[in-house]
């Protein structure tokens, strides 16, 4: 993506990525986690603030740190890193609520042409079928697959 991003750290498996958002609310620790779903090679992308008490991702908190584009670019950069290590992976993401899902859709729409250079991009329709992502369509979630082999969904 053409936006600046935060540097992140990850562990050996490259399934958990950590970075710090820096903005008008201060320094906020963020996590991106890829968790294999019940279908082999399908991974859920979890993202949110790091909850110090639980040690887990809080994907419902609204930080409003004034750096949403930089955060989005950082999350997307982790998809590149994750799919470089796991080239057969399908990555699924959805927002924790309708507003966040809409924000993700807007982010994909704005960057779709660039994303399509490296990924197949799909949207999940209400009838639980995937279609090639169409700007302006409503989706329940999003699926990406690195363009390194022919796929069928």
**Structural domain count of the chain:** 1
Residue 57's domain comprises 9-146
- Would you give the distance in Å from CA 41 to the centre of its chain? 16
Q: Does residue 4 form part of some domain? A: no
Q: Does residue 34 form part of some domain? A: yes
Q: Does residue 3 form part of some domain? A: no
Residue 80 phi/psi, 5° resolution?
Answer: -60, -45
Cα–Cα distance measured from residue 143 to residue 90, given in angstroms and rounded to the nearest whole number: 7
Q: Does residue 2 form part of some domain? A: no
At 80-138, the pLDDT tens digits run: 999 999 999 999 999 889 988 998 899 899 889 999 999 999 999 999 999 999 999 99
State residue 76's pLDDT score: 93
Q: Does residue 33 form part of some domain? A: yes
Confidence of residue 59 (pLDDT cuts 50, 70, 90): confident
Q: Does residue 28 form part of some domain? A: yes
Q: Does residue 152 form part of some domain? A: no
Residue 70's contacts (CB-CB under 8 Å, 6 or more residues apart) are 3, 4, 5, 6, 21
Cα–Cα distance measured from residue 58 to residue 55, given in angstroms and rounded to the nearest whole number: 9
pTM for the full predicted model: 0.89
At 36-51, the pLDDT tens digits run: 999 999 999 999 988 8
Q: Does residue 153 form part of some domain? A: no
Q: Is the pLDDT of residue 147 over 70?
A: yes
Confidence of residue 151 (pLDDT cuts 50, 70, 90): low
């Amino acid at each position: 993506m053409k936006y600046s991003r935060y540097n992140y750290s990850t562990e050996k498996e490259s399934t958990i990525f950590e970075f710090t958002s820096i903005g008008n609310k201060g320094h906020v620790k963020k996590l991106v986690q890829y968790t294999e779903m019940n279908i082999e090679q399908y991974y859920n992308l979890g993202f949110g603030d790091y909850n110090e008490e639980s040690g887990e991702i809080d994907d419902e908190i609204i930080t409003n740190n004034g750096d949403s584009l930089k955060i989005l670019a950082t999350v997307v950069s982790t998809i590149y890193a994750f799919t470089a290590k796991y080239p057969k992976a399908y990555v699924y993401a959805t927002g924790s609520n309708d507003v966040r899902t809409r924000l993700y859709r807007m982010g994909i729409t704005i960057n779709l042409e660039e994303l399509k250079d490296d990924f197949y991009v799909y949207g999940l329709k209400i009838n639980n079928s995937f279609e090639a992502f169409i700007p302006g369509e409503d989706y329940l979630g999003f699926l990406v697959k690195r363009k390194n082999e022919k796929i069928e969904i």
